[in-house]
Structures are given as structure tokens and as C-alpha cells.
Structure 1
Amino acid sequence: MSDALSYRPKPGEIPTEPGVYRFRDASRRVLYVGKAKNLRARLSNYFAPLSSLHDRTRRMVTTATSVEWTTVGTEIEALQLEWTWINEFDPPFNVQFKDDKSYPYLAVTLADEAPRALVTRTTGIKGARYFGPYPKVWAVHETIDLMLKAFPIRTCNNANYKRAMQSGKPCFAGQIGRCFGPCSGKVGIEEHRAIVNEFVNFMGSQDRKLINSLTNQMKEAALAQDYETAARRRDQVKALNAVLEKSAVVLRDNVDIDLFAIEQDELAAAVQLFLVRGGRIRGVRGWVVDKELDLSTSELIDSIMQTVYTGDAVPPREIVLPELPDDAEALEGWLGGIANRKVRLVAAQRGEKAALLATAAQNAKQALMLYKTRRSSDFVARSKALEDIQEALGMSTAPLRMECYDVSHLGGTNIVASMVVFEDGLPRKDEYRRFSIPESTDDTDSLYRVLTRRLAYLVPDDATPEALPSGGVIAVKDEPENGLDSAEHAPPADASGTDDEAETDDADVPEVAAKRKKFRYQPNLLIVDGGQPQVAAAARALRESGVEGIALCGIAKRLEEIWLPDSDYPVILPRNSDALFLFQRIRDEAHRFAITHQRARRKRDINTILGEIPGLGPARIKVLLAHFGSVSRLKEASVDSIGEIRGIGPALAEGIHRHLRA
């Protein structure tokens, strides 16, 4: 038997958040439901060598053909969702778990003469009202203790109650202050029933109106100098607030909603639907939509509603959305016609529904990331993407090696650029490069300088050093992203000047040849992040380098258009095409790599440049940067303006000015 399971997810695809997972067989039947504090760590145990697994576990994973998961906000929420799905799907491999353990409830025996509150795992008590389930027994007891402070009701068992009522003596629990029913001798049957009704109403609705009413009563009693009553109301308010905080994860029992979360980018959208019935999550659906057009969230919601509620699906009375669509009123009318009742669309902004929406959004984000990862790793999709790019750009061959460049800066300071490499449609992180640009007029000038520098390494081997153009760019971190340097990719020493003449001097011809190995492979396609201006700057660098056989294009982010040199109109690729998906991914990777380097440089500027000045500690550095915004602006400041800063005297201001100018 092979140890490799065909449906095993890649380690990076599984999130590390808490959640619930489900194994399914070929007929989509759920075989097993489990929870985990860390989904990645837990699921990795199932994909260990089969010989090391328990017999039952091995039989389950070999019977299954897929595994899926749903992330949640907390471990308690994962346990509650696990319970719901075990009861809904009745998975065959969960039988032992269900027999060994059932979940505790808080029950109120409304059919009794004097209803009592109790903890039970039995759900068949006649006339009882149940609240829960709770993840732990202690959670139920804690809730009862808090609720008894606000609503003192009976807790003793039936035998003790009957004995106390016949004898006229308080029950034992009443004697020690743990029971507050008629058996305690402190309240009558009718008065006790009224308190029980308030108890049940609050647990069922968890409405803050009662808390507000008790707060007003507390204030009125305090004004009347009835401090005992005010103290009781205060304790009740504190107890009820504590109950609300501890049960915020669970919606009220009478809540029936469909809750949609959407995570999207320019090309695709992931949708998560949580079906909430009776305050519990009864089902989860998720799917990814390829966006043929650049749809707004409002338009996307319309499309989702039409897809979900066409057929036998009936919308509930309330649908929770990340935002209300522009045609919300019309959409409510259409949905109401399907349901034959009023349907309300709401955008949850706060409270328990907003918390659940955040959980669904987390799942949607994970689903979109997983979709993009799997799509980009598919060999057939990558091959199709490269063929489509070749055809769209009029290239003679497919672009098996592509390099993408992006520029990042902060208000014109700390200008950096990135170069990312994709071969056969996959990233080659060991060949990523970072550049620092000492000064530049704008992004087009920066791109020109970077590409001039890079293309200089592609001149023929017999070229002289004078033929290597100087772009005024320093490769400050010429290293693989993973930090594992090889002999071929060893980072050069940082140049001390702001141009490359010292690196291309006649006396250093062997050094130039060695450094040229960094960029030994010629790309088939150069991609720049931007539209016509950026492409024109890159074309000028390519033309001046004399290097031939390299295609060039730019991708403009707003409309995802592909621009070619000397073209008045962009190339428009289908929005669901693999070619555009690959363009988008390489552009986003270049942007991410540039931003990462730019942030690292800002941090290094603070730690090295200012940290070297005697008398300037972390606190004063923080004050200086808060005032000037960056080291570059501080460098341009006069001694007098530096000395005006709190904590910076004339002598220290002179030292800062002198050090930065040096």
C-alpha cells in the first residue's frame, strides 16, 4: 500500500487557525468530523506514513477521497461547530466519540410546579427549555452561578423540593444559599414563576433591554437612598453583562439567517455562506467565482443571490451581507417573492452577527488563497497561460523565463526596486534581486535606471567594461529571498558611492565578469508594473542596451491592461484567462518583494544612521522621526530646526547635523 494519499493538501494550503475539518468519501458522504486548535498541525497527523497510523485512522483516511475545513474564531467556537456537524452528518467514524461524550446543556424544567435550573446531557426532559450546548460542564455551572445572582430560582432536585414543601423547612441547598425556589421559604410559587419567565426570556433573547431597565432601577434606588435595592440591582447588572460576554459566540435560539462573506481581487471572488438556524451554524457552503468582468461588490452580491436562491432554496427572513447592494430594496422584494414573506438584507456592523461575519470572511480569504495557489501550480493551466501570453504579445516562443520589476518608495525617499523571476510559470525565489536607487525624479526614471543596470549584464562576453552602462543603481541586497546563498549568488560588497563606476573600472574586468553571473540567464519577457509611461522608460533602457530577443510589456493595475511599447491601445485579456491570472500573480509578487525591502531599509536607516550618533537614544530617535517623518528629511534640516525639538540641545543638534551630512 502506498503511503501517498492523492488528496493530501500541500502543507502551505492548510491554515494554522482553529477550525473544524471533514473527511469525505467518493460519494461526498462525510466520514469524520473533527476540531483542532491548529488545523495544519492536526491534519498533518492524518497524513503521516500509513504504517504508523492506528488501524481505524488508517481505514478512514484510505476510504476518504477529500478533506475540507472551516476556520473559526476560537477553539470554543470550533467545538460548538463540531458538535453541530456530528449531529447533522452522523459520520460513521465519529460513532465512538458520540458514545463516549455528549455535550452539556442548561435546562429549565418549565413543566414543574416550581421550575428548576440544572445541568444535563439528556435532551428528552418533558416540558424543559434547553440552552446550549456548552463546550464544557464548568461553562454551564458558571452561567448558572451568574444567572442566579440576577434571577434567583430553584436549583434543588425534586426529592428535596417535595420534602421541603411538605415539612415547611427549607431545603438543604436553600439553607446554604444555593437554592431560591419556594422550597427555600423566601418566595411564593407565583412570584417564583415570574422570575423563571424572566430567566428564560433573557437566556433566549439575551436582550440588553433588561440590563438597561435594571440599571435605571439601580439609579432610582440610589437617589431614593435605598442602597440595599441599588446594590442588588448592581449585582444583577454585573451578572447579566458577564453572561452576555461569555455567550457572544452563540446566536440567539430564534435566529435564522443566511450569512455571506466575500473575499475578492481583480479576477476572482471567494464566497462563504453560513446557514444559521435556531442560532446554530447548520451548514457551510463555499465556492469561488471567476469574474469575467470587473464587478463591484454590489454587483457581485446580486449575482450571488440569484445563484443561491434559484431552485428549491428558500431565503430566510434575514440575510447578512458584508455591505448592502445599491439595489437592496429591489433585491428584498425579489427574495420576498420567492419566500412568500418579507426578507430583510442587513449589513452587520457590530455585535454577534458582525463577529460571525468576520469568521466567515476569514474562511473566504483562506479559500481564495487556496484557489489561487492550486491554480498557479497546475501544469496544464500554466502551459495554457504561457501559450496565451505568447499569442497575445506576438512572441515567437513562449516566455519560459519572465522577469518583473516594481519600484517602491515613501514620499520620494528610500527608493527601492525589485526583480522577481518566474520560470515555466512558477517563481524562482533564489533569483529574486533587490535594488536601491540613491535618487530619482520619478518611477519611470527609477525603472530606467534599474533596467539599465540589469541589462548591462546581458551584453556579449567580449564586450569591454566601457560598454556597460551606468544606471546609478546599487544592488544592495543581491541575495535569494530564502537567505540561502550559493557560490554563484553570493552578495557583492555594498558600493560606497552613488554610481557604478567603481564597479566597472577597467582594472576590475574579472570582477565584472564574476558579477555578470548573477544575471546569467536572459529573460524571454520583461514585465514592468505600470502603463504607457513605465513601458516607454523600460523600452528606452532596452533599446540603449543593444540586447535583442527580449519582449517587453507592462500591466496597469486599475483595469488589468497589458501595454506594449509604441502602442496606443492596450491588450485586453479575458478576465478569467490563465494568462491574465499569471500576469497578475507575477506583478503582485514583485510589488510584495519591493515593499518588503523598502520597509527593511527604513528600519535599517533608523537603527544604523541615527543609532550611531552619540547621545541619541531610542526615545530621542522616536521624537525626531515623529517630527521630520524620515531620516532623509532630517538630513535636509538645519541645525536650528533640529535644536527646536524637545530634548535636543544645541550641541546634540550640531552633532546630528554634522553626522548626517558627513
Structure 2
Amino acid sequence: MADPSSYRPKPGQIPDSPGVYKFRDEHGRVIYVGKAKSLRQRLANYFQDLAGLHPRTRTMVTTAASVEWTVVSTEVEALQLEYSWIKEFDPRFNVKYRDDKSYPYLAVTLGEEFPRVQVMRGAKKKGVRYFGPYAHAWAIRETVDLLLRVFPVRTCSAGVFKRSAQIGRPCLLGYIGKCSAPCVGRVSPEEHRELAEEFCDFMAGRTGAHLRRLERGMQEAAEEMEYERAARLRDDIGALRRAMEKSAVVLADATDADLIALAEDELEAAVQIFHVRGGRVRGQRGWVTDKVEAVTTGDLVEHALQQLYGEEQGDAVPKEVLVPALPEPVEPVAQWLTQRRGSQVSLRIPQRGDKKDLMATVERNAQQALALHKTRRASDLTTRSRALEEIAQALDLDTVPLRIECFDISHLQGEDVVASMVVFEDGLARKSEYRRFQIKGFAGQDDVRAMHEVIGRRFRRYLQEKQKSGEWTEEPTEEPTEGVDGSGAAGVADATGPTAVADPAVDSDIDATDPTDPTDRLTDEDGRPKRFAYPPQLVVVDGGAPQVAAARRAMDELGIDDVAVCGLAKRLEEVWLPGEDDPVVLPRSSEGLYLLQRVRDEAHRFAITYQRSKRGKRLKSSPLDAVPGLGESRRQALLKHFGSLKKLRAATVEEICQVPGVGRKTAETVAAALATAAPSAPAVNTATGEIIEDDGAPPAALSAERGQDR
């Protein structure tokens, strides 16, 4: 715990002007970002008597080790810079709203040559027009199904679109009139884009013009005695009206507004937003947040506005934003919203009438959301805190281990040796900081040496980052990993085993071939992402006393003496400490033991997944993979029907035709492909990842796979 007076700026150093400030911890990581109309007055509030601070503010200033600031010209610039830094650094003490669920949006991909209507979740993308969010995806699909009758925009995927263009036939929607079939040239790209823009106009609330146009067309068709066309237009009008009825009318017809309401207590706050377009509720969403600092309702509203409109431009920002309390001061926020929209935005508190009544409804939704959130998380928060305290007490730690790292080794009978590192912060998995290691040169099942290697590599990186102040250079790939005897051999004390051969993926401690593996998110001296710069309070290894001793020895060789180590043995779930002859036995009902088990099991799962993916890349593919027109389902059907590749190769065309879904032409192609393939080529059961030998049985090494995976 740091003393704020140790890093308090000297009198006169802080300017009396608008700006944004950052607090950093002892590792240089940004833990809080704030803005102020007067930096001098705002920062002075943090360096008063600790007893007078809000408990969470007190925790923040005692966790911090330094403070810095940036001067800007106006409060609007300060608001924009604060939002940018919060997004970049993700400070742990800032208010961070979390969606209470993943909301689906109706999206129109206007950035494509032929725009597509689809359901989307997650982060918004450029070139896509969004409507919603909606409570359920089925509600979007029902609405789209009604509107496609009038606006036949494509809804198919890129693969279906390309396939239809190749064969010259549209999909089913093209035949039944719910797609204009641009894939086969029924409409030009310009005509299809016009349909997509009309669809967007209707979803944005501009419905009257489309209805009037269709009504005029229906009357003209009736006057000209084109009754079939008139009936079709009549049905189109009915479809549009049914789509409109799905959204309740709550305000005047031309009202475009977002209503934001909050429900809060001393620890948490819930936010509910109703999106009203054309007087109808077009979407609803909710957020929850922990109040990690002393904030007012106006501050929460300001953070919500930043989250809601920080990435939006133009019409996505409505003309009117109704809130329960105004930020202080309100002028910079209103000016910022106006800049985002490109025209005047009214930010105010509703006082009377329909808008106040609707705000009361939104507030009731917020209260219910907070009550539900507390019901779900109350026991979870209490349990996590109790678990961390039990671990600290059982292991005799000075502080609660807020950051825990767990390591596990995985291999298959000594081959493809890999390791995993998972991170839990505040009792929750932090998957963005998971790491995977390749270990070369180990023959046999020597988990002890592998554990020593991995722990040494992880903490050498930490020391290098600490010494170089964030400037990283790759280690030479020809340099062997340093062993316990300092000779470069990765082994036990006598170091008679092979050396670990480094490769680029090993040196980066990440398998660069896996696109799902996250980039490092630890920070350097500027607060930007950097590798392994943040040490844990506790290291957990999967294993007993030998693995724990190897981990402790690796850290001792590097001079790491402020990180605790323990191991969790699977057989009896015993907790082993370095240098102890007897394990620590936690009660089976202990929340601390349950947390350690979850950490260990997550490390094991992550390591097993990586090890299997590495092994799968070495397996040869089946000759059936090269058969044109033979998909996964029919490949599996063939192998299941005949039992082995050998029997399939010996089958006649007539026998192959007996497999459901396989015609004569396909059977002839399969027989020809197997006749020209090498007889020794093994088949792969893609459902299980096992190699199927010619006699139909998996090889012995893989038949025991489940029992041998480490």
C-alpha cells in the first residue's frame, strides 16, 4: 500500500486549466483516468486526509504510485481524450458498464456491393447500419420476414450468394419473391442498393412515405383493372402495418429520442436505455457497473453517454436524449453530442407529459434489472472474496492473491509437449492474458523439467520487461533455454537431458499460428500493451511436491522472492508448498479449495486444447478429402458403413451406392480416388480426430488418448 504523499506533486506544478489525468500503479499500469475543468482543484481532492475519502477512492490512491496529466484547450477536448484513454488503457478503477446480456441488432451491410440484411451481435463494424438492439433474435427475424415482401433485399451469406451466381439459379427466397436475386442479375447493384436504403429508411421510422406510395400504387392498379397487382400491393401494405404494430407507439409520431434511466445503491448501478424512433420503441438495452469510485448520478449519466455514443456518428445519435440527472457541467457533454450527430442535440430531464411517464417506465426497468443482477451476483461476490481470504490464510500470505497464475504441462506419451498459463484476477478468469508455450527437446513424460522451463521463461520475460522499461527485443532463436545448472540444459540438477530448442512461437510465448490466441495486454511505461510486465501474487502449478519444487527453484534462480507458489495434486486435491514434507489439506467444502480447483481445471483444459490442436496438424488426411463433391457428412457415412478405409477400398461401385446419400456418379468418383491413392494412407475420423487404420481399429497410441493426455 503506497502513501499518496510520496507521489503528490509539489505546489504550483499542477496547472489551473482543463485537462485529463492518469494514476499509475507501481508497475506503470494505468489504473484510473479522469478529466477536470481545473486540474489543480480536482487533483487536490485526491491528496487530502485518507479518512475523508470515499472507500473506493482511498483504495485507488493507495494502490497508485504516480500521477500525470495532459492539458487541453476546452472541456470538450478533455471529454474526448478521457474516453479515448479509457478505451485504450481499460483502467481497473474507472466506471465500466457491462451489458447484462448480449443483445442482437438488425444490421444492413451497406459497405458491400450488394447490401445484406442479417442479425448481428458484438462490436459494431464500419460500413454497417444497425437498428436495435432487440430483446430477442426471433423478433428481428419475424420483422425482417414481413418486410422482405416489400423490400426484397438479400439475406443470404457470401457463400450462398457466390454459389447461386455460379450455378445461375437463385435460392428459395428468390423464387418466392422475398429476394430480388441480385446474384443472378435480376436487379442491378444500383437497384438493389436503392432497395436496401428504402429498407433502412423504413426501419429508421420514416414509414409514412412508403405507405402512401404503396396506397397510391394500389389505387392506380385498381383503376386500371390490374387487380392482381392491386391485391399484391394491398398485401404489402398489410405486411408493413403488421411490422409497425410490433413496436408500441409511446410518443408523438415524429419523436426521435433515447431515454436513459438509472437505479443505484452504494456499490452498484444499473442503466436502462429505450431507443425511440418515429415515436415507437425500436430497441432496449441495459448495463450494470460496480461503483469503483465516488460518483454521482450525473457522473454515471456522463459515463453512460460516453459508452453509448462514443463510437456513433450521424443519425445514430438522436435529436433528443432524456436523462434522470444532468452531468456537471452539462455544456461540454451537450456540445460533444452535437458534434457526434452533426446537428443540435437536446440533453435534458423530462418534467411532464408522455416523456416523463415513459421515463418512469424506463426507471422501473432499471430497478428490476438491478434487483435481478444482485440476486445473481450477491452470493458470487461474497464467495469470491471468502475464497481469496481462505487461500491467503491457508498459504500464510501477506495479502490476498488478487492475481493468480496457474501453469500446466500437456503431452501425449512424451510427444508435442506444451504448457499453458491461465490468469485469474479477483477470482475471475482473465482470458485476454492467457498464454501458451511450446516446449521442444523433451523426450518422455518429464513434467518436472518442463515446469521448470516454463516458469523460468515466464519470469525471465517479466524481469526483462522491468529492466528495459517496456522496450522488448526478441531473444536469439539459437540460444538454448537456461537450465537449473546455468549451462543451457533444461533439466534437473544434474541436467543430463536434452536442451530445449527455441523457435519463434516459443520465444514469443504465444503460438503465432493460432488466430484465436489473444495478444498480450500487459503494459509498458506508457501504459500500452506489453508482455509479462505484471507479476502475480500467487503461482499455482498442476502437480505435487516435485512440480512445486521445480517452480520455486526456477524463481529462486531469477531472484523472484515476492511471489508465492503452491501446487494442487489431482489425486487427493492436496495443496503443496515449497520445502514442506506434508501438504496443506483444505476442507472439501472450502471456497478457497474450489477456486484453486477451477484455476487448475481451466489451465488443464487450455493446455489439452492446445496440445490436441498441435497433434492434429501432424495427422495425415484421408484420401476421401480429395474427392470432389464429397462433403463431411458423406465421408463419415462411408467410413461408418464400411468400418475401415481398407474395406471401403475393396468395395465395388454398387456396394458404395448402397450408402445413404451416395449416388452412382459419386460412388464411381470415390472408387477411382481410392484406387489411385497410396494403400498405406490412413484415414482420419474428423469427428474424433483419431486415425483409422486399414483394419478399422485406431492405433494403440491414440486408443489410450483420453488416459494419456496430460
TM score, norm. by length of structure 2: 0.32
- Of Structure 1 and Structure 2, the greater helix share is in 1
Using CA pairs under 8 Å that are at least 6 residues apart, name the structure with larger relative contact order, 1 or 2: 2
Between structure 1 and structure 2, the one with the greater Rg is: 1
TM score, norm. by length of structure 1: 0.34
